[in-house]
Structure 1
Amino acid sequence: MNARWIGAAMLAVWTMAAMAVPPAAGLKLEGAGPYYTLELPLAWQLQAGTADLRGLQLRNALGEPLPHAWADAAPPAQQSLATGSVPVFKLPAAKPARKDAKDAPDDTPRGWVLDLRGVKGSVMEVALAFPERANGAWPVAVEASDDLTQWRSVRAEVQLVSLQHQGQRLDNSVIELGGVRAAYLRLRSLGSGPVPELTGAEATSATLQWPQPALQWSEPIAPASCDAQHCDYTLPAVAVEALELLPHDANTVARVGWLVRGDVVPRQHAHHHGLRRHLHALRDKTPAPLPAPEPGWQPLADGSVWWLRLPTGESRSPVLRLDGAVHTQLRLQVAGGVAQLGAQPPQLRIGVRARTLVMLARGSGPHRLNWGDPALATPVMSLGELMPARRGGDALPADRAVLVADAAPVASPVLPAASAPALAPKTSRAWLWGALVAGVALMAAMAWSLLKGKG
């Protein structure tokens, strides 16, 4: 009997030891290398337990660490230029201060005002068109305003030139502004004489757009707990880029608010599209009020969500874009109660930025990927350090490293309801090692008891 108990205890110990081993997968290398690009699936990001994925380890058959670098920087901003005509108004001379002096004629221009209200983006330059008869040089000060009352200096002095001589013409009529945002631009003459009329003006503006990063979406996540006014969700330690709320029933519309536990501290990216604090809200001057946040919860976003089945097709509210902060606890508040979103509490999905790395393969295979202790992990290089011969703008290596499908981690992006909350990776590993130690102690006690009985 004691022997059977010892055998069972040993089996339990080895089972728990196997459970305590960090998940690992083989890597299939496609191409001659030595550099390979690896796209990390979302299921593996959820295994990390840390948002910066510091515990990731790449090794060859001898267990040697493989140099690697993250290469999933946000797409560069795209700049588009546009040129269009803007309205021009002449700036009459100021009336003299002395009462006995004659007023200057109203039609004597002493500068111009350009109306930039129709220009999108930042104004890079303006090009002035002088009449053919214009001949001279005119120094002007360039000033900007948003209300025609308060003016700020943009260029202290710019020399405008339109000269003709023996059939030749010399023009300097373009003013570089370097990216000004203003409703109006004033070109005020610094000379003693009048300036010519303008036949037109064109403004060249630049608009920057940051492409949204590619996202990997989780399976629906059920709330950990709900009451009549709110639902709480437990999320893994990943940088959340977007949220999508999934009402249970169709033909529902509700005003909602998202709260986060503690302070809202966004993770810094190479791009800054800013925290979009509002969902696509319905235009209602008197929206239904949301409950006041409880102590310890901070507002994150608010707006309206819907799921409608219309004759023209199905309509859903757009996803909520965030800027990559790690939020492990979210609270959904619903004006009028959670029942506004259906007979059952709504689920949500999280969008996580796709992670890509470049590895330098060396030594014999098989090569493997696994998660280990972040404190003992090999330092991650920058892409420039890993690939010193690479030039800026070069594409990532075309050769690919692919996780072997049959060795992928059992965990999937499906996150269960936290009414029985899943253990965080660190807590889970601590529990497993504690069980392992307890099993070893149990086995030792049984062995001692067996030996004592024989004695």
Structure 2
Amino acid sequence: MSRKLNLGWLMLGVAMTVGAQEKPADFAVQIPLAVTGDGPWYRLELPLSAQLQARQTDLSDLRVFNAAGEPQAYALARESAQTRDDGQLHDVKRFPLYGAADAQERAPNVRIQSTTSGTLVEVQPSSQLEAGEETLRGWLLDASAVKAPLQQLILDWSSERDGFQRFSIEASDDLQHWRPWGEGQVARLTFADEQVEQHEVALPGQNARYLRLLWDSPASAPALTAAQLKSSDPRQVPLPLVWSQALAGSRGKAGEYTWQLPMGLNVERVQVELRQANSLAPVTLAGRRETSLPWQTLTGGLLYRLTQNGQDVVQNELQLYGQTVQQLRLTVDERGGGLGEQAPSLKYAVRATQVIFLARGEGPYSLALGNAGVKTANLPLSTLIPDFTPAKLAALGKATVQGEALAPQTSTATTTATADTNWKKFGLWAVLLLSVLFLGAMAFSLLRKPPAKP
């Protein structure tokens, strides 16, 4: 009897193994991949449109297959706002940049004195200006002591200057050659007896010894009272954000708008459409995973689109902290005029996901997603790539998606193969069931057999 029980357990294990064998046709969509560079490892920046094809929020149903339909070993490089290193803050020296009030050049000419290590000790106008002839054009920041990529600029200024302040940002390593780093905007506003301030400006995550800030409107520029730079560990540079397409919303009661996301996502930023100029909207953003759950407040802030000097000054983003949400609700304080009767569209951003796979067998390779029943199969990066380092990750071959997601193949050959596989599964389960019935019958007969007489 023991031998028959062992045979039954063996058949059960075989049946479970056959049932666990996954093929591309088991997934709702397949996306062709193209690979370039040296293998055998390839790194794929997973587009958000592909990620939304998954049926499981943690991407447990993601797979990579080769041309023969064999699964490839893979790992996921993901990070969340809760676990990511927020970086290190550095107080930096600041030097005012004065120029003649009637000068045509936006960047003033200055005389600079620095130490042998590059640290600035003095910055003066190239020529002596009389009182009333000089204008504060901008500021020079000394970042020579920061040896890591710069992620954020944080400014504070005297309270005499309220409103919006815009400026250009340039970077240099030798104070001679400057490269553009975009534009920045800070603000200090009073609304409904409350003060709303914006001090932070995003930087591109690159190294630089010096930064130059030049005001768009020098006549109304404030005097800085503090300047800080936030740097990131070069070994842990955060993955970029990827933005969704515009998502239509619906309007509830006055001043309330809601949006339904395609699936539960770890949202880190939202961008709200501001259709009309001179819009000012204090808002509160809430979210939840399911309709049955209560709303949880995520963040708040002031959204605006105001016209100054013939240009639109826009702040339409809210920062979150990577909470998993599938529904969002924006509540607007309509004392600012509201956002109109029609719900604005909304874009959301999530942190990028990288798929790293070990190419085995012949290509072309394909990405498969969309199966709510499979279990996770990804490996740790340190297991997939021996002696893994971030530098190794950057040097891997590159994979990219080609075209649109494809439905599973429905050719005659695939259908026949699937049918054959199904008959094999049915046969194994039938054998297993017959074995269990046979063992049950044996046990029943043993129980009914009268005990042996002593």
Name the TM-score class by shorter chain: 0.3 to 0.5
Taking structure 2 as the reference length, the TM-score comes to 0.47
Taking structure 1 as the reference length, the TM-score comes to 0.47
User: Quick check: which has more Rg, 1 or 2?
Assistant: 1
